[in-house]
Chain A
């Protein structure tokens, strides 16, 4: 296992290909929270040819429904990623995102989409919401508020957000499979 890596939230194909399952990463940049309802809405818009009001190309989404007070992030740990398994492969392919942060791992379809589209999935420790908020700045942009606060897309500026554990890499490597 190598030393923790410090990366931005906008990644090149080359940067993604250098990551391997088991790596520990600290992220600085901006995360777009996207969970259940935002995945559904994003796919509706993308399929109909309407773009998204935020650009995910090369970017990082976060499976998270933050606890907010105004523009302040109060607590913001990850939600269970597996619920997004049905829509994630298409979201990856249609947006060109490079990284997903969540928890609990994802399934075979997402693993294949990560390899095909050169992206990674990493996990932030579940329930560690207060520390996640400590690494977050004020939120200036929020989208789809009508979905309810937990389901809206919050653009969260983050600094040294981690530890994030790469558990599914762009080469088909799985951290959980390694130990079995």
Chain B
């Protein structure tokens, strides 16, 4: 695992929208009309121009979230990530987004207390493979995300209503068409983690849990019936996809987090195996 590899993965992350997301946006463009279609055309031209010229597609290069699995030495991985982030901020470049919450002081390197956020998911794998999933999360969509602590008897129906409540309140603010990550279960912070993890899943596959997959379809149809449309200009496509992740929770709880993602869903997986590095999408 080399620092330079990680810098390269971050460059791909910021400049090259995943193909499944672009294909989904293209389908929306074909379905919309008027100003809603015009913004989607601008978005798609931007995606192409950013990729061809190696330019971050959005000026909000986000804060980066790392999902590490298979790494034997967590503190060493953290050091490599920090170093890569400092270099990527200079080289990609990334906008220095990380500030102290109340003083708003900006160190200019995208580092600070508790940053970057790194989730260590699993210890070493038998095949020696190390994976680091990376997401660039902008504030426009993170700011309108919400958590709900529901009562167990409210069940799946209330989960649907909670997601609809969050998406409706968000309106045009998170740059629709959005992707909705829904984390169900765990506890307060774990439902947030599950919702974020849901956004790392591709858009062209369903959850492998039957109930979660059904919820994904139902919520997508609810959300698109709102008619918010691209950039809130009205239309059929408010969301590209709903991804649900679930985890067991306390018998008295039903935590739900709705993590909203703008159209610029930036995710990559950096993978090292047998001394070889590659960026997977």
A binds B: yes
For B104, the chain A residues whose CB sits under 8 A away are: 37, 147-148, 151
Residues 50-75 of B, flagged 1 when their CB comes within 8 A of A and 0 if not, give: 10010111111100000000000000
Structural contact, B172 and A75, CB atoms closer than 8 A: no
Is B116 close to A, CB under 8 A?
A: no
Interchain nearest-CB distance for A111 vs B (Å) = 15
Is B108 close to A, CB under 8 A?
A: yes
Q: Mind listing 27 A-B residue pairs with CB under 8 Å?
A: A22-B35, A65-B95, A67-B61, A67-B93, A67-B95, A69-B93, A75-B56, A75-B61, A77-B58, A104-B231, A123-B231, A125-B43, A125-B46, A127-B57, A127-B263, A127-B264, A129-B46, A130-B55, A130-B57, A131-B42, A131-B45, A133-B55, A148-B108, A151-B106, A165-B39, A165-B233, A176-B234
The count of chain B contact residues (Cβ–Cβ below 8 Å) is 44
Structural contact, A129 and B56, CB atoms closer than 8 A: yes
Q: Which residues of B contact A (CB under 8 A)?
A: 34-35, 38-39, 42-43, 45-46, 49-50, 53, 55-61, 93-97, 99, 104-106, 108, 138-140, 143, 171-175, 231-234, 262-264
Structural contact, A128 and B46, CB atoms closer than 8 A: yes
For A133, the chain B residues whose CB sits under 8 A away are: 55, 59
Per a CB cutoff under 8 Å, which of A104, A130, A150, A176 touches B46?
A130
Structural contact, A127 and B262, CB atoms closer than 8 A: yes
Structural contact, B42 and A125, CB atoms closer than 8 A: yes
Structural contact, A76 and B59, CB atoms closer than 8 A: yes
For B97, the chain A residues whose CB sits under 8 A away are: 150
What are the 8 A-B residue pairs with the smallest beta carbon separation, nearest first? A148-B106, A126-B175, A130-B50, A75-B59, A129-B59, A128-B46, A67-B95, A179-B234
Q: Chain A: which residue is nearest B40 at the CB level? A: A125
Per a CB cutoff under 8 Å, which of A1, A126, A134 touches B49?
A134
Residues 133-144 of A, flagged 1 when their CB comes within 8 A of B and 0 if not, give: 110000000000
Is A80 close to B, CB under 8 A?
A: yes
- For B34, B58, B105, B171, the residue with the greatest tally of chain A CB atoms inside 10 Å of its CB is B58
Q: A82-B173, A147-B104, A179-B233 are in contact. List 17 more A-B contacts (CB 8 A).
A: A1-B34, A66-B95, A74-B93, A75-B55, A75-B95, A77-B58, A104-B140, A126-B140, A127-B262, A129-B59, A130-B50, A133-B59, A149-B96, A150-B95, A150-B97, A151-B104, A179-B234
Per a CB cutoff under 8 Å, which of B96, B171, B231 touches A126?
B231
Interchain nearest-CB distance for A76 vs B (Å) = 5
The count of chain A contact residues (Cβ–Cβ below 8 Å) is 40
Bound: A56/B179 CA distance, A:
38
Structural contact, A103 and B231, CB atoms closer than 8 A: yes
Structural contact, B106 and A163, CB atoms closer than 8 A: no
Per a CB cutoff under 8 Å, which of A65, A123, A151 touches B59?
A65
Structural contact, A131 and B108, CB atoms closer than 8 A: no
Bound: A179/B59 CA distance, A:
30
For B171, the chain A residues whose CB sits under 8 A away are: 104-105
Bound: A179/B84 CA distance, A:
47
Residues 21-34 of A, flagged 1 when their CB comes within 8 A of B and 0 if not, give: 01010000000000
For A66, the chain B residues whose CB sits under 8 A away are: 59, 95
Bound: A165/B46 CA distance, A:
17
Bound: A67/B55 CA distance, A:
10
Residues 1-43 of A, flagged 1 when their CB comes within 8 A of B and 0 if not, give: 1000000000000000000001010000000000001000000
Bound: A133/B231 CA distance, A:
20
For B42, the chain A residues whose CB sits under 8 A away are: 125, 128, 131, 163
Q: Chain A: which residue is nearest B264 at the CB level? A: A127
Bound: A52/B58 CA distance, A:
29
Structural contact, A79 and B96, CB atoms closer than 8 A: no
Structural contact, A176 and B173, CB atoms closer than 8 A: no
Bound: A126/B173 CA distance, A:
9
